Amino acid sequence: MNKHTLIPILAALALLAPGCGTRHERILVPHDGRTDYTAAVQQILEARPEGNFTLEFEPGVYDFYPEQAGERPLCVSNNDNGTKRIVFRLEGMRDVVVSGRDTEFRFHGELVPFYIGACERITLQGLAWDYDVPFVLEGIVLAQHGPTHGIDLKITSGNPVRVVDGELRFSGYGWERTPGDNIVFDPRTRAPYYNTVRFHHPYWRQPLSAELLGPDTVRLTGFLSSELPPVGSIYIDKGPYRTNRHCPGIVVHRTRDLKIERTTIHASGAMALICENTENVTLDRFDVRLREGSGRHISSSADATHFVNCRGTVRFEGCLFENMLDDATNVHGTYLAVDSLAGDRLIARFGHPQQEGFDFARAGDTLRLVDRTSLRPAALFTAAEAEPLADGRWAIRSTEPFVLATDGPLAVENPRNMPAVEMRRCTVRNNRARSILISTPRRVVIEENDFSSMMAGVLIAGDANSWFESGSVEEVTIRRNTFTNMGTGGENPQSVLQISPEIPAAGRSCDFRYHGSVVFEENLVRTFDSQVIYALSTDRLVIRDNRFVQSRDYAPIFDGLPFIDLQYGREAVITGNTFEGDRIAEVSAVACDTVRLDPGQPGFAGTTTERPNTFFYRQ
């Protein structure tokens, strides 16, 4: 057999597939020197539509190009919908392992590496992948030009650049993009600059004018930011909103029992991993991180991981998530805004454009209506029918006529599809946005992790008016973690623990709490800013046995806020904590039924005050 033949070597070894009596093939894809392995992989997968195989890759770099990749239209939550070219397309398969040993996949062009749809028992292990050039432009600032509000930028990410009608274009294999969303990183820390909002240019208001100074050097003028990016800083741009999340790394739809082990993603043109309506996901040493020695500052251009209306348990163990342009993870459900409701029927629409096409519900699901202003439940019902309409909305019929507890604007959610979450011994660092977002009513345990991000550490939210991400928590434990200098971004106050459901002042009350129990215990918090915990509309909050240390690494950005800010909560217990710093840790409590504040905590005030942070959803 010629080593360059399209058919890979098949190992003559038959095994029993896990849990069944069918034969399980072991297939070797040799590293034989060909320039494109796309067709070889596609042929293997197409010949085994039911699965039951292990696909093994030898040590070495395997290249994949888009010309021979299959196409499929994909609707992907919080990413850009459209037709995608996919390399590893697994649909309706069971018992598949894709395995490598010192194996790297190198993708060229706008490719989605993996699509996993309606599968069971899928494992990815021992893999790493990157792109020839990233989907994010990076450059070092060589000079500032005050009179023209401009900078000279030397491109360091390897993207070819050109100027068309005064506008910069950056590109890769078969694609080109104009600038849009931007941020400035500090080469010393390899993280977003302290108070980086100073350098943010709102590109949607005014494009920057570009002049090419050399093959990899460009002059950009017309910045609207309050300060120009400093000389020596890393200016980063990922392109315009609604077009810069085109190539997620792993897309998973309606799958059961997914495992990703010892696998690394160095670059992704959207979220590195996005799972929808999927049951049981285990991430064991799954890293989204920079390639060592690459000189890059960005790994994934969006979240490292994201889970929408999943079930079972999502487990993280020993993962490293660094230098993303969004969160390490976001676990949530979906609210649809109700346009009309009468009798036993309702019509609802997606509130955010990047939710369009999401598979929201099916007949038999138990759905819940909520008041969009207060987030208070209005009715629980079983769907007799649930169908998407041609205009993107959903038509849902209840088994019984609706009886509502409110006459306000409504949203509908699918609370059945929500997972438990366990995150242990993971590291999140140097990324834009938050460390983790959790919005699920199932049990959540976050322990022994190391977090350092430019916004909140743990964000527990829920809203039916902006991102339309649902999920009131019931039991969250956050213990024995280390949080270091959270909230350096500067756009608005960010807390280490931020419980901030979007409930405007008009919707808040003392007879309803959106979130249940949250325990924050035995954590080490090194903080430079004034507010560490913010909690709105929580039934029970326990803050105990934590060590809080003023880091002094940066000056406070939002100085003078209370250290702990409690609003519209039923019960809070604050005991056994210490604060080491040059001020007193103050606790503000507004419209809270019971606050048990231990007066003997070193560094803490012995009594509460009423001086709330009015920033969050104050209207």
CB 516 within 8 A of CB 477: no
112 has pLDDT over 60:
yes
Q: Report pLDDT digits (tens) over 548-587.
A: 999 999 999 999 999 999 999 999 999 999 999 999 999 9
Tell whether the model's pLDDT for residue 5 goes beyond 50: no
Give the residue with greater pLDDT, 14 vs 464. Answer: 464
Contact present, 611 and 588 (Cβ < 8 Å): yes
Mean pLDDT calculated for residue range 471-500: 97
What residues contact 215, with CB distance under 8 A and at least 6 apart? none
pLDDT exceeds 90 at position 478: yes
Average pLDDT on 452-472 reads: 96
Structure confidence at residue 6 (pLDDT): 41
Portion of the chain with pLDDT greater than 70, in percent: 96
Look at residue 440 and tell me whether its pLDDT is greater than 90: yes
Q: Can you tell me the distance from the alpha carbon of 455 to that of 93, in angstroms, rounded to the nearest whole number? A: 39
The Cα 342–Cα 70 span in angstroms is 44
Q: How confident is the model at residue 614 (pLDDT cuts 50, 70, 90)?
A: confident
pLDDT at 406: 84
546 closest CA partner among 560, 559, 563 = 563
pLDDT value at 617 more than 80: no
- Residue 8: per-residue pLDDT: 41
Half-sphere exposure at residue 273, Cβ-oriented, CA atoms within 13 angstroms: 27
d(CA 540, CA 360): 31
Q: If pLDDT is split at 50, 70 and 90, which confidence band does 15 have?
A: very low
pLDDT of residue 613: 84
Is 7 a residue whose pLDDT tops 60? no
User: The tokens of 586 are what?
Assistant: 């103050």
H helices within 108-206, ranges in order? none
CB 574 within 8 A of CB 597: yes
Beta carbons of 54 and 44 less than 8 angstroms apart: no
Please tell me the predicted confidence (pLDDT) of residue 407.
86
Q: How far apart are CA 195 and CA 184, in angstroms?
A: 10
Q: What is the pLDDT, as a whole number, of residue 22?
A: 67
Is residue 323 scored above 90 in pLDDT? yes
Res. 401: pLDDT tops 50: yes
Token duo for residue 41 = 């992989």
pLDDT at 388 over 50: yes
| Cβ atoms of 162 and 172 closer than 8 Å | no
pLDDT digits (tens, 9 = 90+) for 234-274: 999 999 998 999 999 999 999 999 999 999 999 999 999 99
The answer, yes or no, to whether residue 11 has pLDDT greater than 50, is no
For residues 371-393, average pLDDT: 97
Q: Pick from 583, 567, 584, 587: which is nearest to 575 by CA?
A: 587
- pLDDT higher than 70, residue 382: yes
Report the run of H or E that residue 465 belongs to, with start and end.
none
Distance (Å, whole) CA 114 – CA 101: 18
Confidence band of 9 (pLDDT split at 50, 70, 90) = very low
Average pLDDT over all residues of the chain: 95
Above pLDDT 90, what percent of the chain?
A: 94
Residue-wise DSSP of 424-463: ES-EEEEESS-SEEE--SS-EEEES-EEEESS-SEEE---
Tell me the mean pLDDT in the region 341-367: 96
Residue 12: its pLDDT value, please?
32
